[in-house]
Structure formats: structure tokens, C-alpha cells
Structure 1
């Protein structure tokens, strides 16, 4: 299944069309997107046993974040070997966790206002939780707690993130539209192997032109390079917190982030972030820098 948010209503993307879930289920599920995940087991049983209607054509620009109001958003830092290598840091022994605030969520084709000249990018696999989970006993239990997967971007204003006396990860990563994700939540049966997915980020516009190529490839990695697998992340998180249906976990980014190379996003840029089997985010950037942006 591919579950999306079309103009604020939960839909299934089926054969290139959008099927309104509340309509197709005669009001049994939806229309609120998160309500689908609150009734995940019942919903998946219904969808597997129901012949869906053809659905309607839709404008991809009308897609919002598949879950606009998660209870919790977690993000995992330094979780790819090649990213740790480029940063010159040792591989962590335990998951590194921060959060992105819900006001930073956006749909897959969001326009992003740049608050300064120091905004970086991090393409990530996002995992959506499908069942309330605390102190999971095994990695298999963690796998069963997964509803699906999406593409996410963890945009970061590095000056705010790294200013002292201690880093402000969550604050620097939570400007409006700094957490676009989508275009849909894709279930494992449709995705294939989530442990070997290619992740890319390609840019056009002033940043690409400065690098001498447009489009210019910024990131090209694979989930096979994760230090902590998706299941391990969920298992370890659950030892401390209670995970709820619809919670989001940004699972880390592969090598190629801009800060290590002095590359930051500029007004007029267009960034396409893709994970094979899931889809793409298409973000454009506009100038919002104030006089004190440096």
C-alpha cells in the first residue's frame, strides 16, 4: 500500500490514482490521516480484503505530509558508516537521538524558506510506527511494529544547530518546512528489502552551477550502510520511550551532506531527494534571510 495525505484526507495511491479511504470504507477509516495508523491492524485487514475503486486523478503538489500530526518525531544522528567517515567521527556504540518539532513537517513538494546562508540537507529513510511499543523484546518485534516507510529531508540551519554553549540540534532543524516527508507511506510488501535501498539527492540551480554541473549529485548512498538497522533503532528507542502509532523516525543520512564540503542551499535551488521503491521529494528554496542571518 501507499498511504498519502491529499488535501488533508487519507488516501491510497493505487495505480496512479487517489482513492479516498473514508469514502471507500464507508466512513470506517479516516478521513484524518493519522487515524489510519491508530487502527493499523484493522485497516490493513480491510485493505487486503477490499477491491478498491479506480480512484481520482490528483495533483502531486496537493499532497501534504502523510501524517501531519504525529505524537512524536525522532531523528537518529550519525547512523551511516560513510557519513561518520566523512565527518571524521567514530561509529557510535548507541543510537544518537534528537527530535524535529512538528511545526517543521511539510509535504513532498514544499517550498522551503531559507532563514540564512547556512542551511544544509540530509536525505533520510523515514519509518512510521504502526503499533504502541515499549520495551520490545526482539528485533522481530520491532519489525512487526513498523507500518511503513517514506522519504524524508532533515534540513538543518547549521549556525543555530552548532552555536554554543551546547549544540541546539532540535532547534536548528525545526524551521518551517525543514522536515518534508512523503510522498506516501509505503508498506514493506510493496517496497521489497528496506535494508538495501538506494538514497540520492540531486540539485539544480545556483548551488549546482557553482559545482560545474546541473543537475549535481549531492548524495548517493544505500540503507545497506546503516550502523543501526531500522529494527535496532526501534528496539532501542522502545527501551526508554513509548512509541505510538503514527510516530515518525528519521533514521539518519548517508555521506554527502553539504556542511563537510562548504556547500549550503541557496535561493533558486531545487533539490530532488529519492529513495528507490518509495519515491521522491521535490523541494524549491526561497530567500528568507534577515539582516542578522550570519
Structure 2
């Protein structure tokens, strides 16, 4: 922590049952710019993902496994931004803010649940694309409605269960004070940094939990796309290859953005990146990625465009 930041935090009185989130310690003009930007991004994210949910639930042409999983992704994006952004906006307005210990742990739990679920869901979506391209004749018999629902329920339950294990472990640490978190939300690394307990056991536990929640899904995604790549190469016509690749391109972009930002925060050595850079990257995957996801899946997607046109045409006729 820099000397100026230390002087700033010296006068902050923190109760032992609460934390103080510093947020972004910048000029008020920069904070107001961030506030306005994030407010627009927040409402854009909510509206964009609600639009996806509405289209998938009402349009018959979107009643397919791929769009069902996209709707699940929209749910977790809404969950993530509502967990992070409202409190972040308050922090920007007040140049930092108190958060109760229970509130901090709740925010951490919801954040972990949504991130783990997205890791698992992206692997399920890659499996869906693998079956669609590598085994198209059996696709409808494999990816049935019941099977898709069971996969979604399993990923939700698994995500919540792993996150619960982490959320139970963190409160068992001792926080001696002053409990000042140099971040804009209750994240894992900042919480471990301010703990005066020995965190080695916790770090081992988190690493072991990351194997089924992060690394195995990555292996499934890589394996699926290796198989998909060989299948696409084997397609004789260029039109067929292009059509097959277009069904995977959106998912590949989302996977690249999600895991790229996630790894840069939690895997890159902390001494290589400053806390400011870590906050900016965290801002990217907690706030901006949930807004980008519906845009990526909607861009150049004829089915979604046709569904929007159908709904608009339907409302115009009724009027």
C-alpha cells in the first residue's frame, strides 16, 4: 500500500464486524465518469440479457439446446452484475464504503457461484457444439429437452456447492484489522491479503476446488474444440465448413474473453501487476463481460434477428 493511501486509511474507523472497500482512489471527476459509464453499462447489461431471456422463452425458433444454454448464461450475467455493480456505484459516489461482514461474505458467495457456474456452463456449451458438429445425426436424440435441463440443474447445484465450501472457509479466517480492502468488491485475493491467519491451508483447499470447477471444464472445452476442428476440416465444401465454424465462433470468443481475464487476475503473479491493473481487469470480467456476452451471441445471428423482427411485427399488428 502506498504512503498516500496509508495516510488516507489511517483515519478510517472500522468495526471488527465490517470491512471498508476503497474502490478506485482517483480524482472525483474520474469517479463521476466511471459512475456514469458503469450505470449505463449496468442497465445495458440487464436489458440485453433480459431481451435474450425473453426471446428464447417466447420464440419457437430459439427453442433449441444452444439457445437454452445461452439463456442460462444470461441469468448468471444478470446475477453477477446485480451482485457487484450497485455497491460499486455507491463506492464511487462516496469514495469508498463500509460493508458488513455478512454482506461481504454474501457478495463473495454470489460472485463465486456465478463464476463457477459460468466455467461449467461454457464446458457444457462446448459439448453441445461438439455433438452438433461431430455427431449431427444423433444430435436431437442426445441433446433432448430433459437432458439439457438436467445438465443446467447439475451445473447450478455444483456451482453453488463449491462456492459454499469457499464461502464457509473464508469466514473462519481471523481478520485483525483495520479490515480495509483495496478493491471494489469482496474478492478472494484481497480477503486473503488482509487476513492475519495462516492462509496456506485455505489456498490449498481453493486450488483443489479449482480442479473440478475451472481446470476440468477447460480440458473439456479444449478436447471438444480439437474434435470440432478435425470434423470441420473433414467437411468437403467450403460453405459447409464456414457454416459449421460460425456456430462455434461466438462461443469461442466468449470463452477467450472469460478465461483470459479470469487467468490474468488469479493466475498471473501478483508482483507482475499493480493493484490498479488488477482492479481494471476485475472490472472487465465482472461488469463489462456480462454486457458483451449478449452482444456477441446476437451479432450476425440470423435466428435472434428473426425473433426480434417477429416480436416487433407481432406487436405492430396487435396495435
Pick the structure with more strand per residue. 1
Q: What is the TM-score with the length of structure 2 in the denominator?
A: 0.25
Q: Which has the larger radius of gyration?
A: 2
Pick the structure with more helix per residue. 2
Q: What is the TM-score with the length of structure 1 in the denominator?
A: 0.26
